[in-house]
Amino acid sequence: MSVVSRTVAAIPARTSVGTWRTITDVLAPPGSAGRARLEAVTNIAAVLITAEYTRQAPIVVILSSGPRIRIRTAHGPDAADAQAAEIPLVASPCDGLG
């Protein structure tokens, strides 16, 4: 199985909630069921991002088809460099989730 990895800038470049919104934007388009599911866990995700768990342990999205998605966050001085180097995914992998 192939894996696609991305790094998203977190604190101090963005708040933890802003970081989760960016991750949600990468994974699912507005109005999709997948996006609604991701938005439903905003508070939990923000806590994990604030505690920097996502720096070492990536958020992993495993879909029934397509590559596995791994998203890590960059914190502190690394966040500015990560923000400048953020690359969107070719497609929204969580578009079809219901």
For residue 34, the model assigns a pLDDT of 86
Q: Dump pLDDT digits (tens) for 42-89.
A: 999 999 999 999 999 999 988 777 789 999 999 999 998 998 888 877
Is the CB of residue 80 less than 8 Å from the CB of residue 17? no
**Full-model pTM:** 0.87
Rounded CA separation 34/86 (Å): 21
Other Cβ atoms closer than 10 A to 49:
25
Going from the C-alpha of 30 to that of each of 38, 55, 87, the distances in angstroms are 11, 26, 18
Is the CB of residue 24 less than 8 Å from the CB of residue 39? yes
